[in-house]
């Protein structure tokens, strides 16, 4: 059996997990509610306060789906209890970030500012301290949506390997290249 798939999904007392028609799992918690459709071959059952996922055979497809859906449901449970946050750092001279509500205004060294609309399911905060790079902090209960939005923002100006300028995740280590070498 899949090591990940066979582990039961634990959920705390304040979280309710419901299995609806067509294998749709609904997770409600203090921070919100999430839904995920599960493949029809994967069986779901609640035993002793744990959600257990099962598979019919040991086919490669069933093994892959078993671990995948267990991880997705576990991420949903963690999201509605704790939530997820990611921080993006803008590295470069004149790079700025500001937000009004869910509208993000970015100055990334282009001839114009980039206006980026953040989905309403996410929370956003920008900060700029003197001598530090601007930071964009995004938070959500949905891990997939948060990762997708962060990837789109990072894709507006990916970090380049020579000086490291661009939008990167906070704490991300970039592979740097040596520049031109002066030779005679």
Query: Is residue 126 situated within a structural domain?
Result: yes
Partnered with residue 102 across adjacent β-strands are none
- Could you tell me the CATH number of the domain that includes residue 32? 3.90.930.12
Residue 183 is predicted with a pLDDT of: 66
d(CA 109, CA 164) in angstroms, rounded, equals 14
Q: How far apart are CA 50 and CA 149, in angstroms?
A: 31
Contact 148, 133 (CB under 8 A): no
Domain end call among 41, 65, 81: 81
Q: What is the pLDDT of residue 2?
A: 65
As a whole number of angstroms, the distance between CA 95 and CA 25 comes to: 42
Q: Give 127-158 pLDDT, tens digit per residue.
A: 999 999 999 999 999 999 999 999 999 999 99
In a domain, 175, yes or no: no
> Within the chain, which residues score under 50 in pLDDT?
1
The angle, 0 to 180 degrees and rounded to 10, between the axes of the packed helices 143-155 and 60-81 is 90
**Quick one: 29 and 103 in the same domain?**
no
Backbone angles phi, psi at 72, to 5 degrees: -65, -45
Look at residue 1 in the predicted model and tell me its pLDDT: 47
Range of the domain at 103: 84-169
Q: What is the pLDDT of residue 128?
A: 92
Which of 40, 60, 81 is the last residue before a domain boundary? 81
Residues contacting residue 87 through CB under 8 Å, at least 6 positions apart: 135, 136, 137, 138, 169, 170
Does 93 share its domain with 139?
yes
Q: Are 91 and 75 members of one domain? A: no
Helix (H, G, I), strand (E, B) or coil at 139: strand
pLDDT of residue 3: 84
pTM beyond 0.75: yes
């Amino acid at each position: 059996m899949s090591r990940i798939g066979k582990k039961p999904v634990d959920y705390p007392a304040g979280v309710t997990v419901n299995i609806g028609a067509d294998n749709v799992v609904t997770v409600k918690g203090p921070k919100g509610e999430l839904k995920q459709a599960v493949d029809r071959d994967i069986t779901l059952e609640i035993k002793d306060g744990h959600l257990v996922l099962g598979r019919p055979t040991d086919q490669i497809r069933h093994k892959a789906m078993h671990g995948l859906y267990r991880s997705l449901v576990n991420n949903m449970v963690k999201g509605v209890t704790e939530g997820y946050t990611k921080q993006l750092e803008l590295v470069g001279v004149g790079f700025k970030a500001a937000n009004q509500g869910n509208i993000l205004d970015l100055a990334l060294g282009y001839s114009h500012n980039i206006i980026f609309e953040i989905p309403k399911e996410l929370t956003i905060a920008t900060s700029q301290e003197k001598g530090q790079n601007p930071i964009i902090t995004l938070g959500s209960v949905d891990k997939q949506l948060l990762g997708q939005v962060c990837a789109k923002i990072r894709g507006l100006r990916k970090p380049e390997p020579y000086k490291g300028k661009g939008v990167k995740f906070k704490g991300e280590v970039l592979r740097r290249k040596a520049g031109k070498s002066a030779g005679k």
